[in-house]
Structure 1
Amino acid sequence: MGEYRKIAGIEHEGKHIPCRLIIFDKDGTLIDFAATWVPLIRKRVAFLLKQLGRNGGLEAFLLKSWGIDPMTGKVDPRGPCPVSPRSDEIIIGTMALYQHGFPWDESKSLVAQAFDLADADGDWREKVVPIKDIQTFLSRLKCDGVYTALATNDERKDTEAILSHLEMEGLFDIILCAGEVEPPKPHPETILTICRKLSIPPEETVMVGDSVTDMMMGKRAGVALTIGILEGGVTPKEELEKVADFVVNSIRDLKFCDF
């Protein structure tokens, strides 16, 4: 990159592990997943039902199809909602309508329109709930010379709008969004692409995320550490511990050192 940055490290089990690059997931890692996305998904469903002019149990079926409990709003960590890009979510909604007797093409068009209407109905991005002190945390990493990257299944337009609203748009050296790298998570190509662009090997890279998919991607890429985050995510601790090198309650619990 033609730029010198000192090598920082993460303290783990009494060891100092070199870390020149940290790759973050977005939803559930930098922002609270359920608090941010469940209200928007409910709004999408409301617009869809309005277009259809009916309900008859369809609302509950749609929410369940996306992995959301209709009564509690709880997100299924094994469902599509936490890991699927927008394009997949539209297909899931389309299938739900098709199973209720609606033609496929019409269903796909209606679901896509409902998504667009909900997204445009007031600036939902202003209701995004960031993890406490995340801006300060990322700023400190930049000051310490650590490269930072964002790997998300969200669309670039929405990602950039969210980062801008949270005043975090300048805190990442590289951002990769849905559809920009194939195959997607949990395939390691997203991490490998970031490492190539920044000329930093996976062995000096750390993956931080809230999902099993994030951890699997990191493992397959051969990163130095995979760190699971509980605050803001929906994956139970015991599930993350099966695949992550270690799990912390909050990003604020990470301990750094200099080399």
Structure 2
Amino acid sequence: MSTASIFSRQVAELNSQSTQAVLFDLDGTLIDSVPDLTAAIDEMLESIGKAPAGEVKVNRWVGNGAAALVKRALADRDDGDALHNARYSNEAYSSAYSVFERAYAQRLTQATGLYDGVLSVLSALISADIKLGLITNKPRQFTLPLLKALDIDHYFSDVLCGDDLEFKKPHPLPVLTALKNLSVSAQQAIMVGDSISDIKSATAAGVKTVAVTYGYNHGIPITDVRNDCQANVYIDHIKQLIS
């Protein structure tokens, strides 16, 4: 199958050049990780005498890395990472993060699984000689074991995690780095994600974007965002990426 025929029509029309690479986000795009993240966050909160957060809040808080998630949970606010320095000492944060780190490592795939259709899409893209990259804000210590446990690590030629570079998404550096590592231009790639961080990062790097509508995006439907957070294409199922 040629690269021209693997993609659905709306995705194939994104680039004037033949698309040679697809960059995927992880949480909320390929995997539903909120249940395990919630369990780890709630264990952390309970260890310091706080009420559990629950999945609704954690769904809003994920997407900007583990540190931001923990800070938001400690403050019980969506902007808790911005307020962190005023409310918690580094020692208190570090102690809480250690509890989360241990709890999450113990249950990485206890409830986390691939969204329906992910395996067939990854397999089809690889069969069509499309290069696959993964760009996540999740720390590497969690990402690699998770990919291996779900048996999808072998699909990706390049994996960039939240602690690999100086900046995370929504900064363009992760996408620019992935393009360099995969030896493709911005006009030969697309980014697939579920949040405004994915859209902003890719757009700033000159890469066209496909947003999945079933993900997290801080509790806001990705289709409701405007301006520089708008994706080029929206899909309701990962299988709509390909023809």
Give the alignment's TM-score, normalised by structure 1. 0.76
Instruction: Give yes or no for contact 2:140–2:164 (8 Å, CA) kept in 1.
Output: no
Match of 2:162 in 1: 178
- Call closer, same or farther: CA 1:202–1:148 in 2, change over 3 Å: same
Structure 2 counterpart SS, 1:23 = strand
Query: Among residues 69, 88, 93, which one is paired with 1:89 in the alignment?
Result: 69
Distance apart, 1:36 and its partner CA: 4.1
Distance apart, 1:82 and its partner CA: 2.2
Match of 1:28 in 2: 28
Match of 2:121 in 1: 137
Distance apart, 1:115 and its partner CA: 1.2
In 1, distance between residues paired with 2:102 and 2:167?
Answer: 29
Matching of residue 250 in structure 1 with residue 233 in structure 2: no
Distance apart, 1:39 and its partner CA: 2.8
Instruction: Give yes or no for contact 1:93–1:111 (8 Å, CA) kept in 2.
Output: no
Aligned AA (1:164): K
Instruction: Give yes or no for contact 1:34–1:74 (8 Å, CA) kept in 2.
Output: no
Instruction: Give yes or no for contact 2:210–2:234 (8 Å, CA) kept in 1.
Output: yes
Match of 2:133 in 1: 149
After superposition, where does 1:211-222 map in structure 2 within 5 Å? 211-222=195-206
Distance apart, 1:108 and its partner CA: 2.2
Alpha carbon RMSD of aligned pairs, Å? Answer: 3.0
After superposition, where does 1:31-180 map in structure 2 within 5 Å? 31-46=31-46, 48-49=47-48, 54=49, 58-59=50-51, 63=53, 70=54, 73-75=55-57, 79=60, 81-92=61-72, 104-120=89-105, 122-180=106-164
Structure of higher CA gyration radius:
1
Aligned AA (1:125): T
Could you tell me which runs of 5 or more consecutive residues in structure 1 were left unpaired when the two chains were aligned.
Answer: 64-69
In 2, distance between residues paired with 1:92 and 1:255?
Answer: 36
Structure 1 counterpart SS, 2:216 = coil
Aligned AA (1:107): A
1:118-169: CA deviations, max 9, x gaps? 135x433232121012122111111110000000000112111111111101
In 2, distance between residues paired with 1:250 and 1:132?
Answer: 8
In 1, distance between residues paired with 2:162 and 2:11?
Answer: 35
Could you tell me which runs of 5 or more consecutive residues in structure 2 were left unpaired when the two chains were aligned.
Answer: none
Distance apart, 1:84 and its partner CA: 2.0
1:188-237: CA deviations, max 9, x gaps? 111111111121001111000000110111111111x2111022434404
In 1, distance between residues paired with 2:11 and 2:64?
Answer: 34
Give the alignment's TM-score, normalised by structure 2. 0.81
